[in-house]
C-alpha cells in the first residue's frame, strides 16, 4: 500500500470517482459503466460519508492545528493530504504518532535525500520488459497488481508518494484489461497481491468483478491464492462491512495484509473490522514500517505486535523505511531496527514477531535482516547467542558430500 494537492480534487465533488472504476470488459456487457455515486442519497454508507468529510485542503488542516496555511499548501501541492474524521479523532496532541502519520509536514519538501521510485516499481524502472503498467512482477510466482491509486488517507511516509492520489494516474479500464491479460498469459503466476493505493477503496461491485476474474484465473493454477493489501482496517475500519466480507468469502483462498504502525490504532472499530474479516476465514497479516517518532521504540512495537495478535492479526513484515524522496524525516537506522527485533524475539510470542526486511533499493526485493544470533562457527561447532545474550554451543554435523 502506499500516493497530490487540492488541485487533484479530493473535495467532496469528486469523491464519487474514487470508489468506482469502469467495469472490466470480460464481465458481462460491453457497456461502459461510469456510474458516479450520488452522494445525496440517504443510504450513503458510513465509510463513504467519512471519506467525503475528510480534511484535504491546506486551510482546513492548518486551521485545525494552528499551522501556517501557506506552508501546508506548498506541501500538499506536491503530495496530497486526506485525513478522515475517524483517523483524525485518534490524534491526542500535535506531533503524536497518529498526527505524524497523516498531517503534512514542511520537512517533506526540504528533503534532499531519497528518490521518487527507489524500489523501481514503475515500468520504465523495472528489469522485466513488457510488464503492464499496473503490475510489478519481481518474483517468479507472484506479483503486485495496483488496482487503485487512491487511499483513504495519504500517509506522509508512503513509499508510493510519487503517485498515490494523483487522479491523472488512476488505473484505466484498458490498463486493467492489459494487466489481466498478462496474468492470464503467465502461467507461473499463482499469487496475485491486489494493492494500490488501497485495494479496498473500490466499491464492493467493481472490487468483486476484479476478484472474480482473478479467481477464475488462479483457482485452476496449483496453489493459487488472492491477496489484498489494504490500510483501511486501520485508517477507515468502517469500510469493512458484513457485505464486503460475505463477498470476499466467496473467493477463497483470500488473504489480507493490513498496515498498523502504532498501538493507538488498535481501537474498538479496528478490532471490529478485523473480527469480521477473520470470521470470514480471511487470514490477516500486518506490515508495519519503522518510523521515527512513531514506532521506533521496542516497548511501543511490543505493545503493537501483542495487540495485533489479540485481534487475530499476525505480524508479518516490519519494513525498514524506504529511501523515498519526501520521507527522510521518518527514517531510522538499521541498528535501531535490529535492536527492536531483539527486543521482540524470545521476549514475546513467536507468533507476534514479524520478519524485519529491507526492500532493496533498485528493485532487489525484500531482504530479511537478523541480529547476529550466530557468534562464531567452527568445524563441528556453532556458537550461538540466545535472546538473553547467553552463549550456547551447538554440535554441528558435516554435510554428506
Ligand atoms: C512484497 C512484494 C510481493 C509479495 O512478497 P511476499 O514476500 O510473498 O509477501 C510481491 N511482489 C512485489 C513486487 C513485492 O514488493
Ligand atoms: S495507505 Fe498510506 S502507505 Fe498505503 S499506499 Fe496509501 S498512502 Fe501509501
Residue of 94, 139, 279, 377 marked catalytic = 139
Q: Which domains does the chain have, with CATH numbers?
A: 25-109 (no CATH), 123-368 (3.20.20.70), 371-401 (no CATH)
Mean pLDDT of 277-300: 98
Q: Give the C-alpha separation, 114 to 161, whole Å.
A: 12
- The yes-or-no answer on residue 102 being catalytic is no
Residue 6 has pLDDT above 90, yes or no: no
Q: Which residues are paired to 394 by β-bridges?
A: 382
Residue 283 has pLDDT above 90, yes or no: yes
pLDDT at position 26 is 43
DSSP three-state, residue 288: strand
Q: Give the pLDDT of residue 224.
A: 98
Nearest CA residue ID for atom 1, ligand 1: 366
CA nearest neighbour of 190 among 237, 229, 140? 140
pLDDT of residue 35: 47
Q: Is the pLDDT of residue 5 over 70?
A: no
Flag whether pLDDT at 298 surpasses 90. yes
Let me know if 155 is a catalytic residue: yes
Nearest CA to ligand 2 atom 5: 2
pTM for the whole structure: 0.89
Q: Residue 370 has what pLDDT?
A: 97
What band does 115 get if pLDDT is binned at 50, 70 and 90? Answer: confident
**Given 73, 292, 366, 385, which residue is catalytic?**
366
Q: What confidence category does residue 30 fall into, taking pLDDT thresholds of 50, 70 and 90?
A: very low
Give me the numbers of helices (H) and strands (E) for the chain, helices first please. 13, 12
HEC readout, 115-182: ECCCCCCCHHHCCCCCCCCCEECCCCCEEEEECCCCCCCCCCCCCCCCCCCCHHHCCCHHHHHHHHHH
Can you name the residues that pair with 37 across neighbouring β-strands? none
Is 139 marked active-site? yes
In this structure, the number of other CB atoms found within 10 A of the CB of residue 350 comes to: 8
Pocket test for ligand 2, best of 160, 161, 202 (most atoms within 8 A of CB): 160
- Take residue 370 and report the three cell numbers written for it: 537478523
Residues with C-beta less than 6 Å from any ligand 2 atom: 1-3, 151, 154-155, 158, 160, 164, 196-198, 231
Q: Does residue 127 have a pLDDT over 70?
A: no
Residue of 123, 144, 286 with the most ligand 1 atoms within 8 Å of its CB, for mutation: 144
pLDDT value, residue 168? 75
Pocket of ligand 1, beta carbon within 6 A: 136, 138-139, 142-144, 193, 366
Could you confirm whether 249 is annotated as catalytic? no
CB 294 within 8 A of CB 324: no
Confidence class of residue 14 from pLDDT cuts 50, 70 and 90? very low
| Residue owning the nearest CA to atom 3 of ligand 2 | 2
Going from the C-alpha of 305 to that of each of 47, 281, 297, 343, the distances in angstroms are 26, 21, 12, 12
CB 286 within 8 A of CB 316: yes
- Radius of gyration (C-alpha) of the chain in whole angstroms: 22
pLDDT category at 10 given cuts 50, 70, 90 is: very low
pLDDT in the model for residue 72: 97
Our answer to whether residue 312 is catalytic in this structure is no
Cα torsion 52, 43, 245, 241: sign: positive
SS3 for 87?
Answer: helix
Q: Please name the residue ranges forming H helices in 260-346.
A: 268-279, 298-310, 334-344
* CA pair distance 283, 194, nearest whole angstrom: 15
Q: How many angstroms separate the alpha carbon of residue 141 from the centre of ligand 1?
A: 10
| Per-residue pLDDT, 401 | 67
In ligand 1, the atom with minimum distance to the C-alpha of 359 is 15
How much is the average pLDDT of 67-96? 96
Q: Give pLDDT tens digits for 150-196.
A: 999 999 999 888 878 777 778 999 999 999 999 999 999 999 999 98
The pLDDT value given to residue 20: 44
Active site residue 401: no
Q: Which helix (H) or strand (E) holds 248?
A: helix 242-248
Question: Are the C-beta atoms of 87 and 102 separated by less than 8 Å?
Answer: yes
Which of 154, 287, 289 best tests ligand 2's pocket when mutated (most atoms within 8 Å of CB)? 154
Amino acid at each position: 500500500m502506499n500516493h497530490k494537492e487540492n488541485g487533484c480534487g479530493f473535495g467532496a465533488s469528486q469523491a464519487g470517482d474514487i470508489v468506482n472504476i469502469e467495469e472490466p470488459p470480460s464481465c458481462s456487457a460491453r457497456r461502459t459503466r461510469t456510474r458516479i455515486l450520488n452522494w445525496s442519497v440517504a443510504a450513503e454508507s458510513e465509510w463513504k460519508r467519512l471519506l467525503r468529510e475528510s480534511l484535504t485542503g491546506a486551510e482546513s488542516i492548518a486551521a485545525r492545528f494552528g499551522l501556517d496555511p501557506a506552508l501546508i499548501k506548498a506541501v500538499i501541492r506536491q503530495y496530497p493530504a486526506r485525513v478522515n474524521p475517524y483517523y483524525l479523532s485518534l490524534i491526542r496532541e500535535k506531533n503524536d504518532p497518529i498526527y505524524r502519520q497523516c498531517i503534512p509536514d514542511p520537512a517533506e519538501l526540504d528533503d534532499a535525500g531519497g528518490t521518487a521510485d527507489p524500489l523501481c516499481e514503475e515500468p520504465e524502472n523495472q528489469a522485466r520488459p513488457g510488464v503492464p503498467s499496473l503490475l510489478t512482477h519481481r518474483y517468479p510466482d507472484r506479483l503486485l497488481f495496483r488496482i487503485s491509486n487512491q487511499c483513504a488517507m495519504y500517509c506522509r511516509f508512503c513509499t508510493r508518494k510519487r503517485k498515490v492520489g494523483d487522479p491523472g494516474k488512476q488505473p484505466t479500464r484498458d490498463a486493467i484489461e492489459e494487466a489481466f491479460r498478462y496474468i492470464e498469459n503467465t502461467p507461473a503466476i499463482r499469487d496475485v497481491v491486489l494493492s494500490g493505493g488501497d485495494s479496498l477503496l473500490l466499491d464492493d461491485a467493481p472490487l468483486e468483478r476484479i476478484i472474480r476474474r482473478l479467481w477464475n484465473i488462479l483457482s485452476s493454477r496449483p496453489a493459487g491464492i488472492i491477496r489484498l493489501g489494504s490500510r483501511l482496517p486501520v485508517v477507515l475500519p468502517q469500510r469493512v462491512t458484513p457485505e464486503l466480507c460475505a463477498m470476499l468469502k466467496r473467493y477463497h483462498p483470500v488473504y489480507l495484509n493490513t498496515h498498523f504502525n502504532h498501538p493507538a490504532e488498535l481501537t474498538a472499530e479496528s478490532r471490529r473490522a478485523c473480527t469480521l474479516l477473520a470470521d470470514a476465514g480471511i487470514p490477516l497479516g500486518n506490515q508495519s514500517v519503522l518510523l521515527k517518532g512513531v514506532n521506533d521504540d521496542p516497548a511501543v512495537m511490543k505493545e503493537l505486535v501483542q495487540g495485533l495478535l489479540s485481534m487475530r492479526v499476525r505480524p508479518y513484515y516490519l519494513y525498514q523505511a524506504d529511501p523515498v524522496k519526501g520521507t527522510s524525516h521518518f527514517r531510522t537506522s538499521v541498528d535501531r531496527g535490529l535492536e527492536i527485533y531483539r527486543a521482540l524475539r524470545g521476549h514475546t510470542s513467536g507468533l507476534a514477531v514479524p520478519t524485519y526486511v529491507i526492500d532493496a533499493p533498485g528493485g532487489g526485493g525484500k531482504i530479511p535482516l537478523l541480529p547476529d544470533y550466530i557468534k562464531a562457527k567452527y568445524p563441528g561447532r556453532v556458537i550461538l547467542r540466545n535472546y538473553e545474550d547467553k552463549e550456547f554451543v551447538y554440535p554441528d554435523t558435516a554435510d554428506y558430500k
